[in-house]
Copies of this chain bind each other. A is one copy, B any other.
Amino acid sequence: MYRSHNCGELNASHINTEVTLAGWVQKSRDKGFMNWVDLRDRYGVTQLVFDESRTDKAVFELAKTLGREFVIQAKGTVIEREAKNKNMATGDIEILVSELNILNAALLPPFTIEDETDGGEELRMKYRYLDIRRNPVKNALLFRHKVAMEVRKFLSDQDFCEVETPYLIKSTPEGARDFVVPSRMNAGQFYALPQSPQTFKQLLMVGGMDKYFQIVKCFRDEDLRADRQPEFTQIDCEMAFVEQEDILNVFEGLTRHLLKELKGIEVEKFPRMTYDHAMKTYGNDKPDIRFGMEFGELNAVAQHKDFGVFNSAELVVGIAAPKCGEMTRKEIDALIEWVKRPQIGASGMVYVKCNEDGTYKSSVDKFYDQEDLQQWAAVTGAKAGDMIFVLSGPADKTRTQLSALRMELATRLGLRNPEVFAPLWVVDFPLLEKDEDGNRWHAMHHPFTSPKPEDMALLETDPGKVRANAYDMVLNGNEIGGGSIRIHDKATQQLMFKYLGFNEEEARNQFGFLMDAFQFGAPPHGGLAFGLDRLVAILGGQETIRDFIAFPKNNSGRDVMIDAPSAIDGKQLEELSIALK
């Protein structure tokens, strides 16, 4: 061992102990006759002291040559520090060094290894190994490990068995785009990397494995939006002989366990909300319920007056922004411009100031009297001192716009405290949704999700109205998990593929093995999957996932540190029986 202790553990109880430490030079202060070096490792920082009057001359001189990020080993005696630092775990002591070895020199790092660094995103990614030395990244990785350990412990204690499913599987055209892997031994054929272990976990249920989980990498070759990665990690779970209620209880239990163990927070039983309710009340299927600002539908009280914009709208809907009554005209105008940006797409916005004296002042005073506006306030729950914002237009679009405004206002008002946790379940998702060009129904969750039995008849008459046994866990405005009760009989699964527009041969080619399996005694089953990257980021109080991933890729799917992907040589292509186009 290069060390007897780490750099985070020595304190006054160790005074006079001979110790050996090893680590990186965080910084040094050379006062001529005295020289202090902050030595850092994963566990903390300890101050080394070199004193011309007490330190061997060669050691003293060598200490003067140390640069930032040099890797050194220092032997010495723990002594009491004169100027104690109460902000440091080791702040009561320092090491009077008697022996010093430079284990490795270091070039000046391209950015400072400090909590607040001067390195931009690209530079930090290129030198990720240096970035990981910084506390925010290091702590994020340690935190992620803790979360994963607690997940495994909790599930394992409840008889869940972690089973590794294969990474080299079969490409299916359904869903997102697959990453594929050409097979050398089976020329002209390809494996695919799993978008999720969905079919395998279902086969494990057919195999009697009963309670399965896996923390597993999944892959999607999608154009990367901000904060998405081509490879991401799922906590993938499945249970047999259960109903939706059982699954919600188990995984609510898991989430409560994580909040308690990792954050010391006890949360109440999770509220449940139907998809329809979430959409109507928050314009969003993953509502942030840390704050109110629920939607008030104003059609009944705002239409049939002389304001044509509202009269012609499918939906008139507003929210009360708390304590925003004092916004200036300029601020309001800026907010109106904000909702009119193409990303939001509103055509305009009406506002109503709720004065402290109980009167109202609106941008549509021409059309509405005080009594009208009081009704608006009642519907949106606005109090004196609030400001009501109202949008109108086609229902779905307008709800989405108002949801964006609600989140933006909440952020500005400081209502999205990352250390407050408000989980909920959203249930009763629609089974099907129209694809983007509106021509074809596709599965909202995936084609293995079971419809609610009582809605089966609607499949023929009104497919959009069929509800699924599907559910999402939502935390602070993020979907952190989602799942469903699955279809477990061949006939229903075949019917589902038919409704989704698969012809029989396609369905057979892609999922024949699953339908075969259903014939050999498939139990009722269901499950869900959590997105681990997002989950740890939210539990860690962060907005972005990138610091919680050791070696993330950039928005072009590149690892800029190792410079991947890259060209491969002709011989490799030849062996794989493929050519570049």
Contact = CB atoms under 8 A, between A and B. Distances in A.
Chain A's interface size range is 35 or more
Contact of A168 (B164, B223, B231, B489): B231
A161 B145 contact: yes
A269 interface: no
A337 interface: no
A349 interface: no
Nearest to A575: B177
A226 interface: no
A6 to B, nearest CB: 8
Interface in A55-83: 69-71, 73
B199 A562 contact: yes
Interface stretch (A385-393, A454-462, A516-524): A516-524
A42 B208 contact: yes
A291 interface: no
B566 A132 contact: no
A300 interface: no
Interface string A150-187: 00100010000111111111110100011111111110
B233 A189 contact: no
Interface string A27-39: 0000000000000
B170 A564 contact: yes
Nearest to A183: B565
Contacts of A277: none
Nearest to A205: B129
A460 to B, nearest CB: 25
Contacts of A422: none
A549 interface: yes
Chain B CB within 10 Å, residue with most, of A161, A188, A489:
A161
Interface in A176-231: 177-186, 188-193, 199-200, 203-204, 206-210, 217, 219, 221, 223-224, 230-231
A209 B138 contact: yes
Contacts of A156: 145, 149
Chain B CB within 10 Å, residue with most, of A164, A173, A182:
A164
Contact of A166 (B109, B559, B577): B559
A73 B24 CA distance: 63
B521 A567 contact: no
Contacts of A445: none
Contacts of A173: 569
A573 B185 CA distance: 19
Interface stretch (A240-248, A355-363, A474-482): A240-248
Contacts of A367: none
Contact of A519 (B22, B107, B132, B243): B107
A452 interface: no
A364 B400 CA distance: 94
A223 B186 CA distance: 11
A130 interface: yes
Interface stretch (A11-19, A406-414, A435-443, A550-558): A550-558
User: Which 9 pairs across A and B sit closest by C-beta, in order of nearness?
Assistant: A132-B207, A106-B521, A170-B564, A189-B565, A2-B241, A69-B521, A183-B565, A129-B207, A129-B203
6 contacts: A41-B208, A130-B206, A133-B207, A170-B566, A189-B567, A190-B566
